[in-house]
Structure 1
């Protein structure tokens, strides 16, 4: 396995695809958190959003690694 995806002849790192998936998941989760009012309890929203993205990226990679190996 090379760790790259072939998209119409352009090699894209696998991590970039996982990062895009984690970003889309974070958009959904952030919208749900905003709708429920959770952000009223958060001190620094941009820092929380970054931490949420990093956690989601770790989860996506942890789930995707056994599936792609």
Structure 2
């Protein structure tokens, strides 16, 4: 996954765009998980959030790679 996106003439790495999208998804998912009470059974919420973020970025990168071919 290489390349840049041109946003109004500014070249931005694709990974940065995917990470921002994953962060927005993480914020929404955190609100849902907090409402469901999942964080009461999680040992370390910060590590749990980090692992979810890494999973979301990897999933977004794989989807972007799949759609670009």
> CA-atom RMSD, angstroms?
1.1
Gap regions ≥5 residues in structure 2 = none
SS, match of residue 42 in structure 1: coil
Gap regions ≥5 residues in structure 1 = none
Residue of structure 2 in register with 1:47 after alignment: 47
TM-score of the superposed pair, with normalisation by structure 1:
0.91
- In 2, Cα distance between the equivalents of 1:41 and 1:51? 16
- In 2, Cα distance between the equivalents of 1:18 and 1:12? 11
| 1:22-44: CA deviation from partner (whole Å, max 9, x where unpaired) | 11111111111000000000011
- In 2, Cα distance between the equivalents of 1:20 and 1:35? 23
- In 2, Cα distance between the equivalents of 1:26 and 1:49? 8
